[in-house]
Amino acid sequence: MRQPSTNQNPSDLVGRRVVVRYRLHGEEFGGTDVLGVLVSRTDDELRVRPSRGGDVVAVPAADVVVVKEIPELTVTRRDVRDLEAAALLGWRALETEWQGGWLLRASGGFTGRANSCLPLDDPGLPPADAVAQVEDWYRARGLVPAFQVPEPLGRTLGPVLDARGWPAPEDRTFVMVAPVSVVLGSERAGLAPVRVDDHPDDAWLAGYHYRGGELPAHAVDVLVNAAAAGFASVDDDGVRVAIARGAVSDAPSGRRWLGVTAVEVAPAARRRGLGGHIVAGLAAWADRLGATDVYLQVAEPNAPARATYRKAGFAEHHAYHYRRLR
């Protein structure tokens, strides 16, 4: 096989966003490009999932002229603020209070997101005073004072927390995004259909293992607390083999997002593509509700999951971390 022109081995680019230029029916007919995620590469062909949606494009290796990695998304502070504003509606706390541009959230300790302060904009107070109020607010509720800090929105907050003796950042997480039209293509033929309900049943709750422990009694109150929540399930011969939660919410810009959380596949059913299959089912549900884009969160240490989502068409949008006052 003639090696295509590129600065990297195409095999090293699997799971990344690339542009592939290739010949059409011989050189006399010119060439064309496909832009998307390189799903796989063999000696015979490259397979690319187009960024604009549609079927995976199989490019014969002999026709490839050049393969180039393209940069990940260009994301502004406004983009981060816009998406986080949609996400806070997708996983809504049971109690909230705005302190200027900071949102304080409490839900009896269930999940970090629903029990942390989200600093989206200026708090309207000197930073140290605003942090002191946050500390008092959480302690009054018997909760550990905590911030969920979107990067780079919380860049100036870090030194203030350091000066007040808060421990170092922890639980860094990437937010990954993709168009709904792209995620729809991850549905697998031959697998049981995805069912989406507006309330989790007992089998769904049994399949959800938040931080490996038992769910508190008020967990369902948090899970259903969204304008449009959907609980996806896949059953195989009467056995629940995969679950996921979706929530559709609007950003201030008007962009409608599907937030995907709680994706779990039963250990005995893994390596069959059920994770992508159930996310695609949620995308189909959200598409009917007018959502155009999907976001999900992946912990920084989970590099294999990030690579899997890249192959499905996701790109990293931004990251966030937590600060907790122990």
Model confidence pLDDT, tens digit, residues 53-72:
678 899 999 889 888 887 66
Q: What is the pLDDT of residues 8-33, one digit of tens each?
A: 566 678 878 888 888 886 545 567 88
> Which residue, 152, 171, 190, sits at the end of a domain?
171
Q: Are residues 291 and 155 in the same domain?
A: no
Would you give the DSSP letter of residue 177? E
CATH number assigned to the domain comprising residue 247: 3.40.630.30
Q: Are residues 128 and 33 in the same domain?
A: no
CB 303 within 8 A of CB 176: no
In this predicted structure, the answer to whether residue 230 has a pLDDT above a threshold of 50 is yes
Q: What is the pLDDT of residues 256-283, one digit of tens each?
A: 999 999 999 999 999 888 999 999 999 9
Residue 111 within any structural domain of the chain: yes
SS3 of the chain: helix, strand, coil, percent, to 5: 30, 35, 35
CA dihedral 246, 310, 307, 273 (to 10 degrees): 60
Q: Are residues 139 and 194 in the same domain?
A: no
Q: What is the pLDDT of residues 231-262, one digit of tens each?
A: 999 999 999 999 999 999 999 999 999 999 99
Q: What is the pLDDT of residues 143-197, one digit of tens each?
A: 999 999 999 998 899 999 999 999 999 999 999 999 998 888 778 888 999 999 9
Among candidates 66, 71, 72, which has minimal Cα distance to 7? 66
Residue of higher predicted confidence among 300 and 188 = 300
CA 216 to chain CA mean position, Å: 24
In this predicted structure, the answer to whether residue 294 has a pLDDT above a threshold of 90 is yes
In this predicted structure, the answer to whether residue 304 has a pLDDT above a threshold of 50 is yes
Structural domain including 154 reads 77-171
Mean pLDDT of 43-60: 85
Q: Are residues 39 and 89 in the same domain?
A: no
Q: Are residues 310 and 191 in the same domain?
A: yes
Q: Are residues 181 and 63 in the same domain?
A: no
CATH number assigned to the domain comprising residue 27: 2.30.30.100
Residue written as token pair 């006399």: 28
> Which residue, 34, 69, 104, sits at the end of a domain?
69
Report pLDDT for 25. 64
CB 232 within 8 A of CB 265: no
Residue 1 within any structural domain of the chain: no
Residue 37 within any structural domain of the chain: yes
Q: Are residues 279 and 298 in the same domain?
A: yes
Beta bridge partners of 185: none
Residue of higher predicted confidence among 74 and 159 = 159
The CA-based diameter of the chain, rounded to the nearest angstrom, is: 75
Residue 3 within any structural domain of the chain: no
Q: Are residues 180 and 314 in the same domain?
A: yes
Q: Are residues 285 and 190 in the same domain?
A: yes
Residue 4 within any structural domain of the chain: no
Among candidates 259, 264, 263, which has minimal Cα distance to 246? 259
Q: Are residues 182 and 315 in the same domain?
A: yes
> Which residue, 53, 69, 85, sits at the end of a domain?
69
Residue 124 within any structural domain of the chain: yes
Structurally, the chain folds into a number of domains equal to 3
Q: How far apart are CA 202 and CA 81, in angstroms?
A: 35
What letters, b where the CB count within 10 A reaches 16 and e where it falls short, cover 191-212? beebebeeebeeebeebbeeee
